[in-house]
């Protein structure tokens, strides 16, 4: 997964990562918002969901302490990361601010 992950975040398009877990209630509430953003911005943004339980090394690398945690990468570089539920407006503001979308 690590080599793949590196390739995924190194595109020209900003990448929004949703670190989540199956057992996480807030993650389930965050999911439809993430899907909506992915659909509405499919040409300008790549959205990837990563299950922290299935990818422990990635979770450690990015020091994921709580889920959901959203992270925004641009050109392979981590631009923003924050744990907790986010509204669609909050996420879009971050993408606009850091993603240059």
Contact 96, 40 (CB under 8 A): no
23 is catalytic: no
The reply to whether 27 belongs to the active site is: yes
CB neighbours of residue 25 within 10 Å: 11
Estimate to the nearest angstrom the gap between the alpha carbon of 2 and the chain centroid.
16
Question: Which has more confidence, 23 or 101?
Answer: 23
* Three-state DSSP state, 90: helix
> For every residue of 2-44, which 3-state class applies, written as one string?
HHHHHHHCCCCCCEEEEEECCCCHHHHHHHHHHHHHHHHCCCC
Tell me what pLDDT residue 101 has. Answer: 47
What domains can you pick out in the chain, each with its CATH number? 2-99 (3.40.30.10)
Q: Could you say which of 9, 16, 27, 92 is catalytic? A: 27
Q: What is the pLDDT of residues 49-100, one digit of tens each?
A: 999 999 999 999 999 999 999 999 999 999 999 999 999 999 999 999 988 6
Looking at the predicted structure, is the pLDDT value of residue 1 above 80? no
Annotated catalytic residue, options 24, 34, 37, 72:
24
């Amino acid at each position: 997964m690590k080599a793949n992950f590196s390739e995924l975040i190194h595109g020209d398009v900003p990448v929004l990562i949703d670190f989540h877990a199956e057992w996480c209630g807030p993650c389930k509430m965050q999911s439809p918002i993430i899907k909506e953003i992915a659909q509405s911005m499919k040409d300008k943004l790549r959205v990837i969901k990563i299950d922290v339980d299935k990818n422990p090394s990635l979770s450690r690398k990015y020091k994921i302490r709580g889920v959901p945690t959203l992270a925004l990468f641009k050109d392979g570089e981590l631009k923003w990361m924050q744990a907790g539920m986010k509204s669609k407006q909050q996420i879009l503001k971050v993408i606009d601010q850091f993603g240059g979308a």
